[in-house]
Structure 1
Amino acid sequence: MIRSLWIAKTVLDDQQTNMDVISNNLANVSTNGFKRQRAVFQDLMYQTLRQQGALTSEQTLLPSGLQIGTGVRPVATERLHSQGNLSQTNNSKDVAIKGQGFFHIQLPDGSDAYTRDGYFQRDQHNPLVTAGGFAVVLTIVIPENALKYTISQDGIVSVVTLGNSEPQQVGQLTLTTFINETSLENIGENLYLETNSSGVPVETAQGVNGAGLLYQGYVETSNVNVAEELVSMIQTQRAYEINSKAVSISDQMLQRLMQL
């Protein structure tokens, strides 16, 4: 087989992967707290036809060798945790993070998850739950007779209860940080899981160890830039077209060779 056929085939596969990632980014442009991904690629092994520094028949050293690449492969989809814009909702249950950190979530099986999506609601058992109904893990207790509560930028929670119009501090809403947040595992529903590469979760107060600040009445929007994704889509499409042409030309060369 002509080597160029295989090389072009690997590029077609990779550009399809790249297009899948871009499409998923665009699909989540309106998803609260969504973090865009980018595909990471790596060249495949090389066939060495002439070694660098080898001795020639004239007893000289070759300054450069002859190596032919064999294509490319995807090695990772990196999630980019850059800050999304804050959108005002005027809903007191909504909380946005500006800076690093995640909200700590408890799944139905008791395991831990983490999210940047601060669109919260309340149910009969928990003062704060995600849009999917998962409970936000709180180190504070909000009284059942609380009429309203406020959350300051540094996470201090104050409540006004029935019969007492003066706000009373009940604790602090903390954030969870990771030493390598790009290695968190995304499981859907805006949730992430800890992995061996992410490091252990560290509960910390706002403004400490890089943790961000909280903004009540706001949600963090997706960090997807539509214009950038469309440009990447065009580049991916062009790369796919060029390598499709390479497959066609290689096929013609192979046919011509078989006719000799």
Structure 2
Amino acid sequence: MRALHTAATGMKAQELTVEVISNNIANMRTTGFKRQRAEFQDMIYENLRRAGTQNSQQGNLLPVGLAVGSGVKPAATARVMSQGNVLPTERDYDLAIRGEGFFRIQLPDGRTAFTRDGSFELNAEGQVVTVDGYQLDPAITVPNNARSVTISAAGVVQVTVPNQTAPQTVGNIQLARFVNKAGLESMGDNLYLETAASGQAQNATPGSEGLGSLLQKHLEQSNVTAVSEISDLIAAQRAYEMNARIISAADQMLQSTAQMMR
């Protein structure tokens, strides 16, 4: 019976929905995390009578057809790149992006990754790095005798050192933007990679060319909303249950047919 297979695809689809929701909820406290959304498409149809074909009995064109679908299939797990809440941290190297853009991160293999996680640290050489030790690109080195660090909204990094009254500029932070930021590839560790779907990175100074500005001593939180995720979870559970009932109903129908043949 076709309904058994069709309902099974529906159950698999809702399993994927629950898996995506569980990942979103698990990352509610992950800095700069962007929630995902499962998207689906209906599967191929069996056309028993096509709309617009001629009725052989009367010669009229059929205004509607007769087609039976075969279920649902996963199409994508799109990432929702909306802004998360920005909260203060009081740490000098914590940065939040207000608006568009990603920090550029230099990976050990030479590739450039991108992130919204602005929780930076200093390594033993005074270089600004991620919590995993990956350098910010372009590289910025803070003198070991720096007394204070100031990072402007435009990404200018200045430090004050002993015996100097004027602050000293040690680097400029650049941001990257993409035509299709949802097309970035997630590689874990709060990092994304450029793909053919995202387009090439367009680098510029924060606050220019459509990019957002920086806010020092703040971090962007995830954009996961607990109420929305729980609501979607309940809907997915109910859809799973209804597909399971269809399988039970189809099984009962087959059982009735088998009893009639005895």
Common fold: TM-score over 0.5: yes
Asked whether the 8 Å contact 1:184–1:193 carries over to 2, the reply is yes
State how far apart, in whole Å, the 2-side matches of 1:258 and 1:107 are: 63
State how far apart, in whole Å, the 1-side matches of 2:105 and 2:172 are: 16
State how far apart, in whole Å, the 2-side matches of 1:72 and 1:90 are: 49
Partner of 2:123: 123
Name which of structure 1's ranges 153-162 and 168-177 shifts more when overlaid on structure 2: 168-177
Residue 37 of structure 1 deviates from its aligned partner by 0.2
Partner of 2:34: 35
Partner of 2:165: 165
1:126-205, aligned counterparts within 5 Å?
126-138=126-138, 140-205=140-205
Partner of 1:58: 58
1:67-82, aligned counterparts within 5 Å?
67-82=67-82
2:11 is the alignment partner of 1:7: no
Which segments of 5 or more consecutive residues in structure 1 lack a partner in the other structure?
none
State how far apart, in whole Å, the 2-side matches of 1:108 and 1:139 are: 13
Look up the SS of the partner of 1:176 in the other structure.
Answer: strand
Alignment length (residue pairs): 259
State how far apart, in whole Å, the 2-side matches of 1:50 and 1:205 are: 60
Look up the SS of the partner of 1:214 in the other structure.
Answer: strand
Look up the SS of the partner of 2:214 in the other structure.
Answer: strand
Render the CA deviation track for 1:227-258: whole Å, top value 9, x for unaligned.
Answer: 00000000000000011000001011111112
Asked whether the 8 Å contact 2:125–2:141 carries over to 1, the reply is no
Residue 144 of structure 1 deviates from its aligned partner by 4.1
Name which of structure 1's ranges 121-130 and 194-203 shifts more when overlaid on structure 2: 121-130
Asked whether the 8 Å contact 1:126–1:135 carries over to 2, the reply is no
State how far apart, in whole Å, the 2-side matches of 1:144 and 1:138 are: 19
Partner of 2:15: 16
Asked whether the 8 Å contact 1:89–1:219 carries over to 2, the reply is yes
State how far apart, in whole Å, the 1-side matches of 2:203 and 2:228 are: 34
Residue 139 of structure 1 deviates from its aligned partner by 5.2
State how far apart, in whole Å, the 1-side matches of 2:140 and 2:26 are: 36
Render the CA deviation track for 1:197-239: whole Å, top value 9, x for unaligned.
Answer: 1111121111222111100000000000000000000000000
Which segments of 5 or more consecutive residues in structure 2 lack a partner in the other structure?
none
- The percent identity for this pair of structures is 46
Partner of 1:226: 226
State how far apart, in whole Å, the 1-side matches of 2:78 and 2:125 are: 36
Look up the SS of the partner of 2:166 in the other structure.
Answer: strand
Residue 173 of structure 1 deviates from its aligned partner by 1.3
State how far apart, in whole Å, the 2-side matches of 1:32 and 1:102 are: 13
Name which of structure 1's ranges 76-85 and 105-114 shifts more when overlaid on structure 2: 105-114
Q: Which letter maps to 1:46? A: Y
| TM-score normalised by the chain length of structure 2 | 0.95
State how far apart, in whole Å, the 2-side matches of 1:165 and 1:255 are: 89
Asked whether the 8 Å contact 2:126–2:141 carries over to 1, the reply is no
State how far apart, in whole Å, the 1-side matches of 2:165 and 2:209 are: 35
Q: Which letter maps to 2:68? A: I
Q: Which letter maps to 1:258? A: A
Look up the SS of the partner of 2:87 in the other structure.
Answer: strand
| TM-score normalised by the chain length of structure 1 | 0.96
Residue 162 of structure 1 deviates from its aligned partner by 2.2
